[in-house]
Amino acid sequence: MSADVMIPYTTEAAIETYGDGADITVIAGGTIVMQLLNYRRMAPERAMLLSKAGMSYVNREGPTYTIGAMTPLSDLIGLAAPLGPCAANVADHEIQYQATIGGNLCAPTPPEHPSGDLQGPLIALRATVRSTGKGGIRRDGVEDFLANKAGRLVLDISFDAPQAGAFRALNRPHTRQFTALAVSGVRSGDKISLAATGAGPTGIRLASAEALAADPAAAAEAALNDVAMRDDSLASAWYRERTFPTLVSAVLIEIQEGS
Amino acid sequence: MNIRLNGGTVDIKSPPLTSLLTVLREELNVTSPKRGCDQGGCGACTVLVDGTPQRTCLTPVAAVDGAEITTIEGLGDSENLTAVQQSFLHHGAAQCGFCTPSMIIAATAYLDGDGSAEPEAIQEALKGHLCRCTGYQKIISAVSAAATKSEFDLTSMTASPNTVILPGGDT
């Protein structure tokens, strides 16, 4: 049986179509959901295609960026670290043209590899997510959104441009498709914000490392207290624990040199 | 739904969430996009959607309703090859041929975007395309030659530079 497919042509129509989010599968760029459909791991009865909803834009007003949920990663590559370099590190050019910031933020985490490449940079940027669903439109910090994303449709994401930022990822040929492990850092005023991707089921803030940011070596060791490494098809927890401090210290040093 | 396929408009009968790859291969009988991994990892299904290379296995056909789709059949034919196709032929940049259509599509998009002849830049541009035969060197050489607008006299070639001529004329 084929699904009922709705194709809204405006953001307002997408919000109305989504409603409370019950029993509706959202397809943004398609890079996640289409795999599941191809392998018949999903058979939605109702689906909403967002490709024509006009939600692809990068706006800047003063220091504040607002990025539409359907903005492809290719449109983020020119942005400053950590978001731009992180987008450039995802998969390959064709996937970057297709995958969206909203879809990437909402990526489920399967057991075989990490996902949600952009979660770390957006946590470090202290971004906020405007979403709709049951209870209407609301705005949350990224960490709160990730903890309660079920039944929510991302509309846009906002953050202030940082004074300095950095992104470092484990870079091995076989990790091209997925971010196996990465650290993002941002300096805004005296405040340093750090987050990791691939160090747990979702992106995670490195609060212990932030508290020791003035000492990159100490912060790098402390960061291990903030994460829960696991074995998967890309890297073992053992390997991640040994490479992670290097990424943290490199990010902190780059932020200090860039400010 | 309809798409503009290689210059003509065709109606689509498949359900809207059918992948563009399935529509091309099984409804429209356009078989140059290959079904490799079916999860966006190998690049063999790539076509141009409004001039941008895109994975057809990850594209629901409803998302490209009304779009211009270009497969390798829309680039050139045996009498009128594009520069990239000529260069692939001259350099013998194909073994089994499974990845060749998508490699040429991606290389065409790369050069249309003023891509350089530098091997490192070409490698970066084509990094999402896997060659099962590992024939990357000749592929990169072919794209590099096309980038410099090299011309080849294909009609004078008795055999490709990579063809071994055996005694008796068999190859």
pLDDT in tens, A186-235: 999 889 999 999 998 899 999 999 999 999 999 999 999 999 999 988 88
**The pLDDT value given to residue A176:** 61
Average pLDDT over residues B28-34: 98
- A123 with A205: CB under 8 angstroms? yes
Q: Provide ipTM, 2 decimals.
A: 0.92
- A161 with A124: CB under 8 angstroms? no
CA distance A91 to chain B (A): 7
Give SS3 for A46: strand
Is 80 exceeded by the pLDDT of residue A3?
Answer: yes
Touching check for A29 and chain B: CB below 8 Å? yes
**The pLDDT value given to residue B150:** 80
The answer to whether the CB atoms of B58 and A35 lie below 8 A apart is yes
Structure tokens, B142: 């072919």
Is 70 exceeded by the pLDDT of residue B165?
Answer: no
**The pLDDT value given to residue B169:** 45
The answer to whether the CB atoms of A94 and B128 lie below 8 A apart is yes
What is the 3-class SS of chain B, one letter each residue? CEEEECCEEEECCCCCCCEHHHHHHHHCCCCCCCCCCCCCCCCCCEEEECCEEEEHHHCEHHHHCCCEEECHHHCCECCECCHHHHHHHHHCCCCCCCCHHHHHHHHHHHHHCCCCCCHHHHHHHCCCCCCCCCCHHHHHHHHHHHHCCCCCCHHHCCCCCCCCCCCCCCC
**The pLDDT value given to residue A108:** 85
**The pLDDT value given to residue B166:** 53
The beta strands (E) that lie in A82-232 are given as 128-133, 138-141, 152-160, 164-169, 182-188, 191-197, 204-205
The answer to whether the CB atoms of A49 and B60 lie below 8 A apart is yes
In chain B, the residue whose alpha carbon lies closest to the alpha carbon of A48 is B17
Using alpha carbons, select from A205, A245, A11 the residue that is nearest to residue A121: A205
Partner-chain residue, chosen from A51, A93, A95, that has the shortest CB–CB distance to B40: A95
| Helix (H), strand (E) at residue A66 | strand A64-68
Partner-chain residue, chosen from A35, A44, A51, that has the shortest CB–CB distance to B39: A35
In chain B, the residue whose alpha carbon lies closest to the alpha carbon of A97 is B54
**The pLDDT value given to residue A174:** 60
Q: Which chain A residues have a beta carbon less than 8 Å from that of B106?
A: 93-94
For A101-143, the pLDDT digits (tens) are 999 999 987 777 788 999 999 999 999 999 999 999 999 999 9
Give chain B's radius of gyration (CA, Å): 17
Structure tokens, B54: 């895109």
CA B107 to the chain's CA centroid: 8
- B56 with B43: CB under 8 angstroms? no
Q: Which chain A residues have a beta carbon less than 8 Å from that of B46?
A: 94
In chain B, the residue whose alpha carbon lies closest to the alpha carbon of A177 is B41
Partner-chain residue, chosen from A38, A93, A95, that has the shortest CB–CB distance to B38: A38
Alpha-carbon distance of B165 to A187, in angstroms, equals 65
**The pLDDT value given to residue A61:** 97
In chain B, the residue whose alpha carbon lies closest to the alpha carbon of A94 is B54
For A37-78, the pLDDT digits (tens) are 999 999 999 999 999 999 999 999 999 999 999 999 999 999
**The pLDDT value given to residue A132:** 98
* Omega before A114 within 30 of 0, i.e. cis: no
**The pLDDT value given to residue B161:** 54
Percent of chain B's residues with pLDDT above 70: 91
- A186 with A165: CB under 8 angstroms? yes
Using alpha carbons, select from B54, B114, B104 the residue that is nearest to residue B76: B104
**The pLDDT value given to residue A86:** 96
**The pLDDT value given to residue A171:** 81
Amino acid of residue B10 = V
**The pLDDT value given to residue A109:** 77
Alpha-carbon distance of B21 to A179, in angstroms, equals 27
Average pLDDT over residues A82-100: 95
CA distance A111 to chain B (A): 17
Is 80 exceeded by the pLDDT of residue A175?
Answer: no
Task: Give exposure, A207-224, as e/b (b: 16+ Cβ within 10 Å).
Answer: ebbbebbeebeebbbbbb
Q: Which chain A residues have a beta carbon less than 8 Å from that of B53?
A: 93-94, 97
- B86 with B59: CB under 8 angstroms? no
Touching check for A104 and chain B: CB below 8 Å? no
Touching check for A214 and chain B: CB below 8 Å? no
CA distance B55 to chain A (A): 7
In chain A, the residue whose alpha carbon lies closest to the alpha carbon of B16 is A5
More confident residue, B157 or B141: B141
- A82 with A184: CB under 8 angstroms? yes
Is 70 exceeded by the pLDDT of residue B137?
Answer: yes
Q: How confident is the model at residue B168 (pLDDT cuts 50, 70, 90)?
A: low
Q: Which chain B residues have a beta carbon less than 8 Å from that of A44?
A: 17
More confident residue, A105 or B170: A105
